[in-house]
């Protein structure tokens, strides 16, 4: 991209990421950009559509991708989608919760963004329709994984489900994999891996 003065949250030759922290729960809203084409997606249009739209300027936004249906992750999704004329995606199990009946299904599997290949990963537990979004060595985890543990769950069964998602989908990734969560600071798989059994013992 031509704007060399822009301070990115993360940047390498193949991936650019910007971040805005918005709302009363300090949600992370991410802008994932393919620098070769300037195609982008917004991940978790939480609240404050004006801030999100300002962050997206200079890129060709293709879609809003939603990690799960909790109100603090979807509050601006419809407005941002309508303003930019782009689709909003969410895991189908979370459509009703997120009050996004017109959203498209964010199904597990590959999704292309310019020259980038995204992988949509189903990670139920925090909600039934939770999704993580992987590109290169980055994973946007929503409320599935934070520095220090998994997202909140509402029952022992949900806790077992989220731990299985972590075991099967996230902790199979290399230690250098960077985690960009829905709230708080980035971390890595390697930094969190030693604590998994502590979390399991702690329970929900």
* Total residues belonging to the chain: 204
Q: Are 159 and 193 in contact (CB under 8 A)?
A: no
**Residue 197 placed within a domain:** yes
Give me the pLDDT at residue 22, please: 99
What pLDDT is recorded for position 63? Answer: 98
Tokens representing 147?
């520095």
Q: Are 50 and 80 in contact (CB under 8 A)?
A: no
Q: Is residue 4 part of a domain?
A: no
At 22 the three-state DSSP class reads strand
Residue 179 placed within a domain: yes
Instruction: State yes or no: pLDDT of 1 exceeds 70.
Output: no
Backbone phi, psi, residue 161, to 5°: -65, -45
Domain that holds residue 192: 10-202
Q: CATH number, domain at 166?
A: 3.60.15.10
Q: Which token pair is 199?
A: 């979390």
In a domain, 87, yes or no: yes
Q: Is the whole model's pTM more than 0.85, yes or no? A: yes
In contact, 104 and 92? CB cutoff 8 Å: no
Residue 3 within any structural domain of the chain: no
* Residue 161 counted as domain residue: yes
Q: Is 191 among the domain residues?
A: yes
- Give Cα separations from 167 to 137, 145, 163, 172, 173 (angstroms): 17, 11, 6, 7, 10
| pLDDT one-digit tens code per residue, 154-202 | 999 999 999 999 999 999 999 999 999 999 999 999 999 999 999 999 9
Q: How far apart are alpha carbons 171 and 174 in whole angstroms?
A: 8
How many domains are contained in the chain?
Answer: 1
Give the sign of the dihedral formed by CA 65, CA 7, CA 193, CA 172: positive
In a domain? residue 1: no
* Distance between CA atoms of residues 94 and 100, nearest Å: 8
72-109 pLDDT, tens digit per residue, is: 999 999 999 999 999 999 999 999 999 999 999 999 99
């Amino acid at each position: 991209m031509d704007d060399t003065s822009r301070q990115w949250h993360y940047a390498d030759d193949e991936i650019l990421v910007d971040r805005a922290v918005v709302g009363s729960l300090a949600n992370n809203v991410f802008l994932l950009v393919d620098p070769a084409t300037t195609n982008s997606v917004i991940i978790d249009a939480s609240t404050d559509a004006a801030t999100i739209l300002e962050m997206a300027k200079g890129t060709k936004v293709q879609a809003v991708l939603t990690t799960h249906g909790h109100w603090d992750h979807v509050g601006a999704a419809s407005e941002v989608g309508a303003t930019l004329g782009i689709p909003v995606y969410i895991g189908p199990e979370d459509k009703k919760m997120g009050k996004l009946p017109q959203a498209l299904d964010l199904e597990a599997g590959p999704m292309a963004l310019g020259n980038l290949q995204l992988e949509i990963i189903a990670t139920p537990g925090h909600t039934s329709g939770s999704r993580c979004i992987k590109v290169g060595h980055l994973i946007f985890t929503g409320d599935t994984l934070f520095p220090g543990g998994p997202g909140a769950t509402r029952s022992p069964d949900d806790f077992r489900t989220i731990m299985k998602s972590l075991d099967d989908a996230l902790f199979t990734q290399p230690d250098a994999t960077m985690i960009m969560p829905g709230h708080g600071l980035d971390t890595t798989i390697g930094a969190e891996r030693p604590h998994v059994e502590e979390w399991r013992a702690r329970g929900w």
